[in-house]
Every structure is written in C-alpha cells, then in structure tokens.
Structure 1
Amino acid sequence: MKNRILSKFDFILIACVLILTSIGITFIYSSGINSDGILVSNEYIKQSIWTGIGLVIMLSVALIDYRKIYRYTPYLFAAALAVLVYTRFFGRYVNGARSWIGIGDLGIQPSEITKIIFILFLASFLDKNYNENQRKRFFFSLLILILPMGIILLQPDLGTASVFLPIFIFMCFMANVPVRYIMIVILSGFLTIFFTVLPIWETEIYHGSIPIIRALTNFRLRMLIIAASLAVTVAGILGQIFFKKKYFYWITYVFGIISFSLLASAGAGKVLKPYQIQRLIVFIDPSSDPRGAGWNIIQSKIAIGSGLLRGRGFMQGTQSHYRFLPQQSTDFIFSIFAEETGFIGGILLFAVFFCILFRIVYIMKQTTNRFGYLIASGILGMFFFHFIVNVGMVMGIMPITGIPLPFLSYGGSALLTNMLAVGILMSINNRRLDFKVAL
C-alpha cells in the first residue's frame, strides 16, 4: 500500500520544488535584514507557512484523478469570472491594482488561481472540439482568453493579465490550431505594444517630432487611419464572399490585425496608469528617470553585476540590506540571490528551473490523454513565461511588469497556484497511459 502511494509522486518535480522554495525562504529572510544586521521583516515565516500548505495541496492533488474535473471545468470557469468581477469592484488595492480579496491581513489574489482554471477549461474545450471547424474552434478559444484577461486588465493588473497570452499560445499550438490563427494573437500583441510605445518614445526619449509617428499622437489622423484600415478589412471580407480569391483572405488577415492593434493601442493609452507608462519609458531608457521609475532596474543590474562569479556571500549583499532595491522579496528576489551567490548560483538556479520545464515536456510526451497533454502544455507556458520575464525584468532586458519568480518570490497566492500546478502535473504523469477521460 505504501509503495503504491509513493509511486504516484514524481520525485524529480518534488525535489525541484523543495530546492526552489527553500532558496526562496532563505533569501526572503536575507531580504529582511537591514544594514545593521537586524531582522525587520517576518515575511520568511509567512512564506514558510504557505510552503507547508502548498506542499500538502500539491501532494493531495497528485493523488486525485485530474480527469474527473473534466465535466466541471465550465462551472469552475464561470465561478472564476464571477470572483474576478467581484474583485474588480469590491477588492482591495495593492500596488495600484484592485486585485485582492480577504479579511484583515489575510488575502488572496483570485487572478492567480484563475490561471489554473483557465488552463483546465481551455484544455477541455480544445479537446472536446478537436475535430471541429478550426476557425470556429480558434475564435471560441479566443473568447475564453479575452474574458478573464479583459477583467484582470480592468483591475488593472497588466503583469498577471499578460501571463494568459503565452498559456493560450502554447495550448493552441499543441492542440493543432493552425499557426496562421495563432499568429493573429502574436502579431496583434506585438503591434499593439509597438503602437503604444512609439508616441511615448517620441515625447519622453527622442524629445522631437517625427511626421510618421504624428499619426499615432494626433487623434484625427489616428481615427482616419483606423477607418481606412477597417474599410480595407471589410473590403477583403466582401471579396472573399463574392469572388472566392485567396488574396482577399490575406488582405483581411493583414489589415484586420493592423486595425485591431491600432484600436487596442488607443485603448491602452487611456487604460494604462502613469506608473505603467513610466515603466515602458525606463525600459527603453533607464537613465531617463534614474531616481524615479528607472531606479529599480538600475539598482537590480548593479546587484546582479556585483555578485561576480561566486557572489558576496549569504546576507552580505549591499543593495538589499541598504534597501536600494524596492520590492526585493517579491519581484526582485533574483537580484538578491544573484548578488549573494554570483554567476555560479544563478546558473544552478537556472538548471533547476529548466529541469522542471524539461520534466513537463517529458510528461507531455509520455501521456496518451489529450486533456492531460493540453493541461501540461498550458502549465509549461505559464512557468516558462514567469521565469523568462522575471529574470529578464531584473536584468533590464524586459520591462518591469510585476511578474513573480515561481517558488522564490514572496507571496502566498502565487506560491499555492504553482504548487497546485505541480500537483496536477504529477496526477497527469501518474495516469499517463490512460487514454480516456474519467467522467
């Protein structure tokens, strides 16, 4: 009996999680020490408690047949959306976003657990409609993406909302959704960011006027271009209907993406908070505001660089203990780790993360259940994006988005969500040879 239970656990994943959470608690403790060597924060105690709860959740979920949730995913998704709407209007403000609910000091971030529910529901939808019309399948999947992402953007929590995109892309690709449809999301995202950043770059960094960019800053010109692009899109649609020519499809495809991106960038300019716009500016040029919004990136790069090969030693970092790094136990935990353990420590940390990613790929290759396969692909996209963006952010090669480093950053909601994800992965791996969904 004991051996049967033990066989249900993936000890490679468990070992990686224990290593990362132990490192996280250790360096959250280090971040709480000030320049006089006095502990001024009890965050490491809370993180230890959350880790214990998370491990229980992870191991418990590993023992449950994940396939039994298949029929309930629509109800879970509807409930998650309802909680997100409630949070948008009645939640508490934390770091500029109304994204938390709770009582007193106890609170959760519903958007974190929504990521897992989104993965489960999208996996069930893509599996159930695997042989349906691909265009219809894609656009219904897109609606599933837009609903939670849109509500989270209204909180506004740009960082958490952005995580849904790579999850969606990974899952659609693995579900054999045609690449040309997936590219609609990718190209629309990049063009929206590009059209949003250009006017900011012109006014805040270039400090001049460029005629071609004026179309994005002048309201009338922008509306004229959007109207023209929409007209070409409609003409392309009509051309497909009446003439059945392939080139009309690609006209619709290209100008539809441009039209959406122009409209979305106009909306982004209205929705983005001043501090979020400032983050985009300092990403392009940190020296534009070295004592303000650019401070985080500059100090983080100094901390990472000062670690050199072997680091300054545990609790010997200057950037964290002299409080040069804001949010050092959450978004910038890697900066502290790199300063105190150096390049060698960073490489070892990377190795553990990539071990998790490769293990997920192995589970995907081994499972014969498409529902489980798609769930694992979504979790892979989530972990990969969190890791790449957080590390890129603290190194100054990606904008600051407030995305935590999985298993290391301080925070209960994110940690419990990640533990839950690993538990689901173990459940999939344990039932990898079972083809049918258990209803």
Structure 2
Amino acid sequence: MDFSHSATAADYLARVGDFISARIEPVEADYHRALRDSGDPWVVLPVIDELKDKARSQGLWNLFLPEREHGGAGLSNVEYAPLAELMGRSAIAPVVFNCNAPDTGNAEVLVRYGSQDQQRQWLEPLLRGEIRSAFCMTEPAVASSDATNMAATATVDGDQIVLNGRKWWSTGVGHPQCAFVIFMGLTDPEAHRYQQHSMVLVPMDAPGVRVERMLSVFGHQDEPFGHGEVSFTDVRLPLSAVIAGPGRGFEIAQGRLGPGRIHHCMRLIGLAERALELACTRASERVAFGKPLANLGGNRERIARARIAINQARLLVLHTAWLLDTQGLAGARSEVSQIKVAVPAMALDVIDMAIQLHGAAGLSEDFPLAAAYSGARSLRLADGPDEVHLNLVARQELAGYLPGKSS
C-alpha cells in the first residue's frame, strides 16, 4: 500500500491548507466570541456564509463526496483522509467546505440509496450548502448501542408511513437551516432482525415533529448545530419518503458508517495535532521554577509520546481507508471498529496533556482545548460505544479459534 498523495489530492491538500491558514484561522476566535456574545447563538453569522462562498468559488466544496456526477471531488477515502485531518484543526472548517457531519453521511445515503425525487428535493440543496440536516437514530428510553432495541416506529399505512417515538442526540437539529432529518424506526417486528427497520426523510416542519430541548456536552451546546431531543407524534408522510423502501434501514446504516468513521477519526487526528501544537507552544514559552515547562516534570516525554500516538493513529486510519477503497466495508469491518476505539482515546490523552500544560487556562474558553476534549469524549459514544466495537474486533479475532462461536 502507498499512502503518498496523488497529484489531485496533493493539490487539494495545498489549497485547503492555504485557505484554512489564510481565511479561517485569522477569524475563528472572533467568530466564536461573536457567537457567544450575540444573545442568540442559534444563528448563522455572516462570516460563515462569506467563507462558504469563497471556498465554493475556489472549488473547495463537497470534497468528501467521491461521486463527481453529484458535484463531488472524486477522491478516494485515502485521498480525502488528510483533507479531513486539516479540517479537524478548526471547529468551523468542515462547514465552510460543506464537509460537516451529519450532512456528509446523509448526503452519502441519498446518493447511494435515494430516489431521483428524494435527491432533487433534499440532496441537491444540501450539496449546494443551502440547507442542513440531522440524523435521528438514538433513543432516550432504550440502550441504543443495540439498535435492535429501537422503540420508535415507522409504520406503513396504505400509501403513507406513520412515525411515532422520541429520539435524542440528534446532531444538527438546532441549526436554523436544518430542513430535514433522517429518522430510523421499527417497521416490521416479525421480519428478520436486520430487515425490521426503515429510514425515512422527514421535513422539520412536518406536523407532529417537535424539538423538545437542546442537550449539552460538558456544558457545551455546539451552537449553532447542537444536539437535540426530538419527538415524533403521528407524523404522516407519503410512502415515497422512505429511503430505498421499507425494511432497509440496517442495510443503509451499515453503508453510511464506513466512510463516516474515517472522516470522524481523521478530523480527530487534526484536533490532536492542534492540541499538541498548543502544548508545545505553552511548554516552550511558559516558565515555572526558573525553567520552561518543557524541562519540568517529564513533560518532554509526554510530548514525545503524544507525537508517537498521533502518528500511530494516523497510519491505522489510513490503512483502514485503503482497505475500504480496495475491499469495501466487508474487508474492513474490524479495522473500522479499531479506529473508532483507538483514535478518540488517543485524542483524549493528547488534549488532556495539553490542558494540563495550560493549567486552569486550559479549562476556559480562552483556549479551544476544553471544547476539543468535549468533542473527542463524545466520540467514544457516537456511532457506537467502544464496547460494541471492541466486541466486533474480538469476535473477528477469535473466529478462527472458537469453531461455531464466531457470531
């Protein structure tokens, strides 16, 4: 395998890097300050639209999407991975390049499973950056780490689908431009366990859809996107709102999560790189007991171990991306779960070290470290908790040793 950049990827890498350093980094601190001081953080500030317009005019748009016919950049997972890492250094870069989750995953679902009408209504404006979206799967009343526990229903009634239930941690529903959600619900409890559920496109203004509250993560609400608890009460939609037909929810979910986990993990590596840079700057400039912090208390070793851990994680993710590109999800299931466990843990360690070097200031909004820690910690739960992924890795590892016990 060869992880050197193709000519196309190298070009994008240079241009994205230049855009972030020249356009995004100089304004990001002021952006976050203005959002906090606005009195209503659930808004899109003009600077975001200005940056999006500039990025799109330079062709730095929908870079995550391999399908050129839908306006994607035509990049493989290995080619896109370093771009996701660059974007992960900034809280706003992903949305500036129209590469933010969960819109990326929802777009991939619509590209691969959506009908022409669904693509026309939802995918095209999403890829133009005119609307935002959310994904409604996790539920407050059941252990959602086992998706077969799902209690919300998507019941076929003639030529309609009727939705009932409550979802939470629905990332993106707080955004003022969130126009639709993808809702996953139980359709046929008598079917095979992986053919019981359906995914449905739900307009946010459909009767019966209500955002009950916005949830915080360690006190952060991730405005203006946020994580909401959403109720669905007798929401009636035409059967054409079901993606790919009833009973295909699990199939779609599995297809959605492979590339998405590459994106998450590479963004986290970018976040860890940013934290290490801040740690090195602080350790070099801050003096205590007559010495730079870098020369006190084993900090050199901590910094060295952080560098090693980041590099190890990056190679593991690139290997997984290569497997996805060459063998598909079937050939990369264990590796996808491995990175989902390894990378958030690595990022948390690096960010925590950086916080420690910053002292109490690292806990404040004066530095991006507290928000970075909150985001990294949430990814030990999002898209499946560590325990689920560790079980999958172990199951595949033991398959050849325990005949008949591989499932």
Q: Fold-level match, TM-score > 0.5?
A: no
Which structure shows the bigger proportion of residues in strand conformation? 2
TM-score (norm 1): 0.28
Which structure shows the bigger proportion of residues in helix conformation? 1
Q: Which structure is higher in RCO with an 8 Å CA cutoff and minimum separation 6?
A: 1
